[in-house]
Amino acid sequence: MKAIIEIPKGDNRRRHLNNKKAEFVDLGSIKDVIPINDGVMPVDYGYIPETLNKKEEDEIDVIILSKKKFIVGQEVKIEPVALIRREDGDDKVVAVDETRQSIKIWSDIPENERKLVEKFFSYHHKLVSIDGADEAKEYIKKNQT
């Protein structure tokens, strides 16, 4: 399975693929929206192509745990390990690449990293649950276009 990077880890800009799927648009500073982690993206963030989160009418979002350095628009091979469900329906798949293969489930992620992801991605909308890898894979499969 593959993902496309929209916001690399360590970046402080919000980017999103435009509606025509032609280019990434800079939506401004992350800090203006999420002051957690000083407005710096704590993970690689992107989307899973050929999927649709019906609630937000956009591709499924993915949080990628990696030891690599990525750039905007880069394609990454991923393996889902969890599904973060949020009260607003803007759910997030948590995935790893080949550099973090020892992580198979949510609890394998180091506690400080888990807590930062939870805090960052629940700043505006409460987390409902964190489901397992099987649920994440089923969510992706059910929402393929």
Q: What is the pLDDT at residue 135? A: 98
CB-CB contact of 12 with 28 (8 Å): no
Name the residue type at position 25.
Answer: V
Q: What is the pLDDT at residue 118? A: 96
Predicted confidence (pLDDT) per residue in 7-20, tens digit: 999 999 988 876 66
Measured distance CA(61)–CA(56) in Å, rounded: 10
Q: What is the pLDDT at residue 23? A: 77
* 3-state SS, residue 64: strand
CATH fold of 2-142, please?
Answer: Inorganic Pyrophosphatase (3.90.80)
Q: What is the pLDDT at residue 21? A: 66
Average pLDDT of the chain is 93
Mean pLDDT for the stretch of residues 99-116? 96
Per-residue confidence band for 24, with pLDDT thresholds at 50, 70 and 90:
confident
Return the structure tokens found at 83. 């599904």
